[in-house]
A and B are shown apart, each in its own frame.
Chain A
Amino acid sequence: MPTPVRALIIGMLGPALQAAGVAWDLLEHGVFARSEIGHLTFEHIISGPAHLLMASGFAVSVVCIPLALQVATARPGELERPTEDEATISHESAFGAAEAAE
Protein backbone atom coordinates (compact mmCIF):
# COMPACT_ATOMS: atom_id res chain seq x y z
CA MET A 1 0.00 0.00 0.00
CA PRO A 2 1.46 3.42 -0.94
CA THR A 3 2.70 5.57 1.93
CA PRO A 4 0.34 8.54 1.28
CA VAL A 5 -2.67 6.19 1.34
CA ARG A 6 -1.54 4.68 4.66
CA ALA A 7 -1.05 8.15 6.15
CA LEU A 8 -4.44 9.29 4.86
CA ILE A 9 -6.27 6.30 6.34
CA ILE A 10 -4.50 6.69 9.68
CA GLY A 11 -5.19 10.42 9.80
CA MET A 12 -8.83 10.18 8.73
CA LEU A 13 -9.88 7.25 10.94
CA GLY A 14 -10.62 9.43 13.99
CA PRO A 15 -12.47 12.18 12.09
CA ALA A 16 -14.48 9.47 10.26
CA LEU A 17 -15.58 8.00 13.60
CA GLN A 18 -16.53 11.47 14.83
CA ALA A 19 -18.52 12.10 11.65
CA ALA A 20 -20.32 8.77 12.14
CA GLY A 21 -21.13 9.83 15.71
CA VAL A 22 -22.52 13.17 14.53
CA ALA A 23 -24.63 11.41 11.87
CA TRP A 24 -25.95 8.92 14.49
CA ASP A 25 -26.82 11.79 16.87
CA LEU A 26 -28.57 13.77 14.13
CA LEU A 27 -30.56 10.70 13.12
CA GLU A 28 -31.51 9.97 16.72
CA HIS A 29 -32.56 13.49 17.68
CA GLY A 30 -33.62 14.73 14.28
CA VAL A 31 -35.58 11.76 12.97
CA PHE A 32 -36.24 8.92 15.43
CA ALA A 33 -36.65 10.62 18.82
CA ARG A 34 -37.38 14.26 18.13
CA SER A 35 -39.38 14.66 21.34
CA GLU A 36 -36.34 13.77 23.49
CA ILE A 37 -34.45 16.90 22.51
CA GLY A 38 -36.19 18.99 25.18
CA HIS A 39 -35.52 16.43 27.92
CA LEU A 40 -31.79 15.88 27.67
CA THR A 41 -30.18 14.66 30.87
CA PHE A 42 -26.57 14.73 31.99
CA GLU A 43 -26.59 10.92 31.92
CA HIS A 44 -27.68 10.90 28.29
CA ILE A 45 -24.97 13.39 27.36
CA ILE A 46 -22.17 11.29 28.87
CA SER A 47 -23.51 7.84 28.02
CA GLY A 48 -25.40 8.30 24.74
CA PRO A 49 -23.93 5.87 22.15
CA ALA A 50 -23.58 8.60 19.53
CA HIS A 51 -21.73 10.83 21.99
CA LEU A 52 -19.43 7.97 23.00
CA LEU A 53 -18.74 7.30 19.31
CA MET A 54 -17.74 10.95 18.88
CA ALA A 55 -15.54 10.76 21.99
CA SER A 56 -13.82 7.62 20.66
CA GLY A 57 -13.22 9.36 17.35
CA PHE A 58 -11.71 12.33 19.14
CA ALA A 59 -9.39 10.06 21.18
CA VAL A 60 -8.35 8.20 18.00
CA SER A 61 -7.64 11.55 16.31
CA VAL A 62 -5.44 12.68 19.21
CA VAL A 63 -3.31 9.54 18.86
CA CYS A 64 -3.41 9.10 15.09
CA ILE A 65 -3.08 12.54 13.49
CA PRO A 66 0.51 13.03 14.76
CA LEU A 67 1.21 9.40 13.80
CA ALA A 68 -0.12 10.03 10.28
CA LEU A 69 2.43 12.83 9.90
CA GLN A 70 5.20 10.47 11.03
CA VAL A 71 4.01 7.81 8.57
CA ALA A 72 3.84 10.34 5.73
CA THR A 73 7.48 11.30 6.29
CA ALA A 74 8.78 7.77 7.00
CA ARG A 75 11.09 5.84 4.70
CA PRO A 76 9.32 2.91 2.94
CA GLY A 77 11.44 0.38 4.86
CA GLU A 78 10.15 1.71 8.16
CA LEU A 79 6.57 0.89 7.21
CA GLU A 80 7.24 -2.80 6.72
CA ARG A 81 5.48 -5.00 9.23
CA PRO A 82 7.76 -6.82 11.65
CA THR A 83 7.86 -10.59 11.31
CA GLU A 84 6.29 -12.66 14.07
CA ASP A 85 9.59 -13.04 15.92
CA GLU A 86 10.44 -9.36 15.52
CA ALA A 87 7.06 -8.24 16.81
CA THR A 88 7.99 -8.48 20.46
CA ILE A 89 9.58 -5.86 22.65
CA SER A 90 12.33 -8.19 23.89
CA HIS A 91 13.44 -8.78 20.28
CA GLU A 92 13.58 -5.02 19.75
CA SER A 93 15.66 -4.65 22.91
CA ALA A 94 18.06 -7.34 21.73
CA PHE A 95 18.20 -5.71 18.28
CA GLY A 96 18.87 -2.31 19.87
CA ALA A 97 21.62 -3.74 22.06
CA ALA A 98 23.25 -5.41 19.04
CA GLU A 99 23.10 -2.13 17.12
CA ALA A 100 24.64 -0.27 20.07
CA ALA A 101 27.43 -2.86 20.29
CA GLU A 102 28.24 -2.33 16.61
Chain B
Amino acid sequence: MLSIDPAAVAEALARLPLHGGEGTDGAVQGHGFFGAGFLFIGSLLIVETLAGGVWRRHRLRAMLWPGALIAASLGMLIVSYVQPTEKTLHLSLAIILLIGGYFEARYRLGQVPRSTADMVAIPALVLAGIVIGPVHANGPMMSSADGQMHLLVGLVAFALAGIRLSQVRLGRTLALDATFGAGVMMLGLSLLLVQQFHAGH
Protein backbone atom coordinates (compact mmCIF):
# COMPACT_ATOMS: atom_id res chain seq x y z
CA MET B 1 0.00 0.00 0.00
CA LEU B 2 1.24 3.47 -0.84
CA SER B 3 1.65 5.65 2.24
CA ILE B 4 2.33 9.35 1.87
CA ASP B 5 4.38 11.19 4.47
CA PRO B 6 3.41 14.91 4.50
CA ALA B 7 7.00 15.94 5.32
CA ALA B 8 8.32 13.95 2.36
CA VAL B 9 5.67 15.52 0.12
CA ALA B 10 6.68 19.02 1.25
CA GLU B 11 10.34 18.20 0.67
CA ALA B 12 9.59 16.82 -2.80
CA LEU B 13 7.56 19.92 -3.71
CA ALA B 14 10.43 22.15 -2.58
CA ARG B 15 12.76 20.32 -4.95
CA LEU B 16 10.41 20.44 -7.95
CA PRO B 17 12.23 23.17 -9.89
CA LEU B 18 15.53 21.29 -9.78
CA HIS B 19 16.57 19.57 -12.97
CA GLY B 20 18.00 16.51 -11.25
CA GLY B 21 20.14 13.99 -13.05
CA GLU B 22 23.70 13.14 -12.21
CA GLY B 23 25.11 14.95 -9.25
CA THR B 24 21.78 15.87 -7.68
CA ASP B 25 20.60 12.53 -6.42
CA GLY B 26 16.89 12.13 -5.96
CA ALA B 27 15.96 15.57 -7.24
CA VAL B 28 12.78 15.75 -9.29
CA GLN B 29 13.64 16.68 -12.88
CA GLY B 30 12.11 19.76 -14.43
CA HIS B 31 12.19 18.72 -18.11
CA GLY B 32 8.94 16.81 -17.82
CA PHE B 33 6.97 19.74 -16.41
CA PHE B 34 8.10 22.00 -19.26
CA GLY B 35 7.35 19.13 -21.66
CA ALA B 36 3.82 18.74 -20.34
CA GLY B 37 3.30 22.50 -20.64
CA PHE B 38 4.48 22.62 -24.26
CA LEU B 39 2.39 19.55 -25.09
CA PHE B 40 -0.68 21.29 -23.65
CA ILE B 41 -0.12 24.60 -25.41
CA GLY B 42 0.85 22.88 -28.69
CA SER B 43 -2.46 21.00 -28.61
CA LEU B 44 -4.28 24.28 -28.06
CA LEU B 45 -2.46 25.87 -31.03
CA ILE B 46 -3.80 23.07 -33.26
CA VAL B 47 -7.27 23.50 -31.78
CA GLU B 48 -7.06 27.27 -32.34
CA THR B 49 -6.36 26.61 -36.02
CA LEU B 50 -9.24 24.16 -36.37
CA ALA B 51 -11.80 26.14 -34.37
CA GLY B 52 -11.26 29.43 -36.29
CA GLY B 53 -13.66 32.12 -35.13
CA VAL B 54 -15.18 29.92 -32.40
CA TRP B 55 -11.82 29.96 -30.56
CA ARG B 56 -11.88 33.74 -30.58
CA ARG B 57 -15.30 34.04 -28.92
CA HIS B 58 -13.34 34.45 -25.69
CA ARG B 59 -10.55 36.98 -26.16
CA LEU B 60 -8.51 35.56 -23.28
CA ARG B 61 -7.93 32.42 -25.35
CA ALA B 62 -5.96 34.44 -27.90
CA MET B 63 -3.44 35.31 -25.19
CA LEU B 64 -2.88 31.70 -24.07
CA TRP B 65 0.15 31.14 -26.36
CA PRO B 66 2.13 34.25 -25.32
CA GLY B 67 0.98 33.69 -21.72
CA ALA B 68 2.36 30.14 -21.81
CA LEU B 69 5.70 31.38 -23.17
CA ILE B 70 5.97 33.97 -20.40
CA ALA B 71 4.95 31.37 -17.77
CA ALA B 72 7.66 29.02 -19.14
CA SER B 73 10.15 31.87 -18.91
CA LEU B 74 9.22 32.45 -15.25
CA GLY B 75 9.60 28.71 -14.64
CA MET B 76 13.05 28.80 -16.25
CA LEU B 77 13.96 31.79 -14.05
CA ILE B 78 13.07 29.70 -10.98
CA VAL B 79 15.20 26.84 -12.37
CA SER B 80 18.17 29.16 -12.91
CA TYR B 81 17.76 30.52 -9.36
CA VAL B 82 17.36 27.14 -7.65
CA GLN B 83 19.72 24.93 -9.64
CA PRO B 84 23.36 25.43 -8.67
CA THR B 85 24.74 24.47 -12.11
CA GLU B 86 24.27 25.87 -15.63
CA LYS B 87 22.75 29.11 -14.36
CA THR B 88 23.77 31.14 -17.43
CA LEU B 89 22.25 28.59 -19.78
CA HIS B 90 18.90 28.51 -17.98
CA LEU B 91 18.87 32.29 -17.65
CA SER B 92 19.47 32.71 -21.38
CA LEU B 93 16.58 30.31 -22.10
CA ALA B 94 14.37 32.32 -19.73
CA ILE B 95 15.26 35.54 -21.57
CA ILE B 96 14.61 33.94 -24.98
CA LEU B 97 11.19 32.68 -23.82
CA LEU B 98 10.33 36.06 -22.28
CA ILE B 99 11.23 38.00 -25.42
CA GLY B 100 9.31 35.51 -27.59
CA GLY B 101 6.24 35.73 -25.33
CA TYR B 102 6.41 39.53 -25.24
CA PHE B 103 6.47 39.91 -29.03
CA GLU B 104 3.77 37.24 -29.55
CA ALA B 105 1.59 39.12 -27.03
CA ARG B 106 2.21 42.44 -28.80
CA TYR B 107 1.29 40.84 -32.15
CA ARG B 108 -1.90 39.36 -30.77
CA LEU B 109 -2.81 42.69 -29.21
CA GLY B 110 -2.38 44.31 -32.62
CA GLN B 111 0.60 46.44 -31.56
CA VAL B 112 3.15 44.98 -33.99
CA PRO B 113 2.75 43.23 -37.37
CA ARG B 114 3.36 39.50 -37.77
CA SER B 115 6.62 40.22 -39.61
CA THR B 116 8.08 41.98 -36.54
CA ALA B 117 7.08 39.12 -34.25
CA ASP B 118 8.63 36.63 -36.71
CA MET B 119 11.84 38.67 -36.89
CA VAL B 120 12.22 37.93 -33.17
CA ALA B 121 10.69 34.44 -33.09
CA ILE B 122 12.84 32.83 -35.79
CA PRO B 123 16.28 33.80 -34.40
CA ALA B 124 14.99 33.06 -30.87
CA LEU B 125 14.00 29.52 -31.90
CA VAL B 126 17.37 28.93 -33.60
CA LEU B 127 19.22 30.25 -30.54
CA ALA B 128 17.04 28.14 -28.22
CA GLY B 129 17.81 25.08 -30.37
CA ILE B 130 21.55 25.67 -29.99
CA VAL B 131 21.27 26.31 -26.24
CA ILE B 132 19.03 23.30 -25.51
CA GLY B 133 20.72 20.93 -27.97
CA PRO B 134 24.50 20.93 -28.28
CA VAL B 135 25.18 23.26 -25.32
CA HIS B 136 22.85 21.73 -22.71
CA ALA B 137 23.33 18.04 -23.54
CA ASN B 138 24.93 16.39 -20.51
CA GLY B 139 27.48 13.68 -21.14
CA PRO B 140 28.65 12.31 -24.47
CA MET B 141 26.61 13.85 -27.25
CA MET B 142 26.13 10.90 -29.59
CA SER B 143 26.63 7.89 -27.34
CA SER B 144 24.31 8.65 -24.41
CA ALA B 145 20.52 8.60 -24.52
CA ASP B 146 20.45 11.82 -22.49
CA GLY B 147 22.68 13.66 -24.97
CA GLN B 148 20.69 12.35 -27.94
CA MET B 149 17.39 13.40 -26.38
CA HIS B 150 18.73 16.94 -25.77
CA LEU B 151 19.84 17.04 -29.41
CA LEU B 152 16.32 15.98 -30.40
CA VAL B 153 14.87 18.93 -28.45
CA GLY B 154 17.33 21.24 -30.22
CA LEU B 155 16.37 19.80 -33.63
CA VAL B 156 12.68 20.33 -32.89
CA ALA B 157 13.40 23.98 -32.05
CA PHE B 158 15.24 24.33 -35.41
CA ALA B 159 12.26 22.69 -37.15
CA LEU B 160 9.90 25.20 -35.50
CA ALA B 161 12.09 28.04 -36.79
CA GLY B 162 11.84 26.45 -40.27
CA ILE B 163 8.04 26.31 -40.05
CA ARG B 164 7.90 29.99 -39.02
CA LEU B 165 10.18 30.81 -41.95
CA SER B 166 7.85 28.90 -44.29
CA GLN B 167 4.92 30.92 -42.92
CA VAL B 168 6.81 34.11 -43.76
CA ARG B 169 7.50 32.91 -47.32
CA LEU B 170 4.23 31.12 -48.14
CA GLY B 171 1.77 32.97 -45.90
CA ARG B 172 -0.21 31.54 -43.02
CA THR B 173 -2.14 28.50 -44.19
CA LEU B 174 -4.19 26.08 -42.10
CA ALA B 175 -1.64 23.33 -42.79
CA LEU B 176 1.38 25.43 -41.72
CA ASP B 177 -0.37 26.75 -38.60
CA ALA B 178 -1.37 23.21 -37.61
CA THR B 179 2.17 22.00 -38.34
CA PHE B 180 3.56 24.69 -36.01
CA GLY B 181 1.18 23.49 -33.28
CA ALA B 182 2.24 19.89 -33.91
CA GLY B 183 5.86 21.05 -33.71
CA VAL B 184 5.26 22.62 -30.30
CA MET B 185 3.62 19.33 -29.24
CA MET B 186 6.71 17.51 -30.52
CA LEU B 187 8.88 19.87 -28.46
CA GLY B 188 6.86 18.87 -25.39
CA LEU B 189 7.13 15.19 -26.25
CA SER B 190 10.90 15.45 -26.75
CA LEU B 191 11.23 17.10 -23.33
CA LEU B 192 9.23 14.22 -21.83
CA LEU B 193 11.65 11.83 -23.54
CA VAL B 194 14.57 13.75 -22.01
CA GLN B 195 12.93 13.19 -18.64
CA GLN B 196 12.46 9.49 -19.41
CA PHE B 197 16.08 8.94 -20.41
CA HIS B 198 17.67 11.39 -17.98
CA ALA B 199 20.22 9.79 -15.69
CA GLY B 200 18.68 8.74 -12.42
CA HIS B 201 15.15 8.27 -13.71
- Whether a CB of chain B sits under 8 angstroms from the CB of A30 is no
What is the size category of the interface that chain A forms with chain B? 35 or more
Q: Do A42 and B4 touch across chains, with their CB atoms under 8 A apart?
A: yes
- Whether a CB of chain A sits under 8 angstroms from the CB of B52 is yes
Residue of A at shortest CB range from B51? Answer: A71
Q: Do A80 and B53 touch across chains, with their CB atoms under 8 A apart?
A: yes
What's the tally of chain B residues with a CB closer than 8 Å to chain A?
A: 46
Pick from B33, B43, B63: contact of A14, CB under 8 Å: B43
Residue of A at shortest CB range from B50? Answer: A6
Q: Do B39 and A67 touch across chains, with their CB atoms under 8 A apart?
A: no
User: Does more than half of chain B's interface fall in helix, strand or loop, or is it mixed?
Assistant: helix
- Whether a CB of chain B sits under 8 angstroms from the CB of A101 is no
User: What's the least CB distance linking B172 to chain A, in Å?
Assistant: 6
Chain B residue contacts of A49, Cβ below 8 A: 32, 35, 192-193, 195-196
Q: Which of A55, A88, A91 has the most CB of B within 10 A?
A: A88
Residue of B at shortest CB range from A51? Answer: B32
The digit string for A16-52, where 1 denotes a CB below 8 A from any CB of B, is 0100000000001000000000001011001111001
* A60/B59 contact (C-beta < 8 A), A88-B110, A89-B110, A90-B111 known: no
Q: Do B50 and A1 touch across chains, with their CB atoms under 8 A apart?
A: yes
Q: Which of B4, B8, B36, B107 has the most CB of A within 10 A?
A: B36
Residue of A at shortest CB range from B15? Answer: A43
Q: Do A91 and B196 touch across chains, with their CB atoms under 8 A apart?
A: no
Q: Do A56 and B47 touch across chains, with their CB atoms under 8 A apart?
A: no
Q: Do A82 and B195 touch across chains, with their CB atoms under 8 A apart?
A: no
Q: Do B110 and A90 touch across chains, with their CB atoms under 8 A apart?
A: yes
Chain B positions near chain A (C-beta within 8 angstroms): 2, 4, 8-9, 12, 16, 26, 28-29, 32-33, 35-37, 39-40, 43-44, 46-47, 49-57, 59, 62-63, 107-111, 114, 172, 174, 177, 188, 192-193, 195-196
Chain A positions near chain B (C-beta within 8 angstroms): 1, 6, 9-10, 13-14, 17, 28, 40, 42-43, 46-49, 52-53, 55-56, 59-60, 63-64, 67, 70-71, 74, 77-82, 84, 87-92
A56-B188, A88-B109 known, 5 other contacts, Cβ within 8 Å:
A10-B50, A49-B196, A56-B40, A82-B52, A82-B56
14 contacts between A and B (CB under 8 A): A17-B43, A28-B196, A40-B2, A42-B8, A46-B12, A52-B32, A52-B33, A52-B35, A52-B192, A60-B43, A80-B53, A82-B53, A89-B62, A90-B111
For the complex of A and B, list the 10 residue pairs with the smallest distance between their C-beta atoms, beginning with the closest. A90-B110, A88-B110, A52-B36, A49-B192, A79-B52, A78-B53, A56-B39, A60-B43, A56-B36, A49-B196
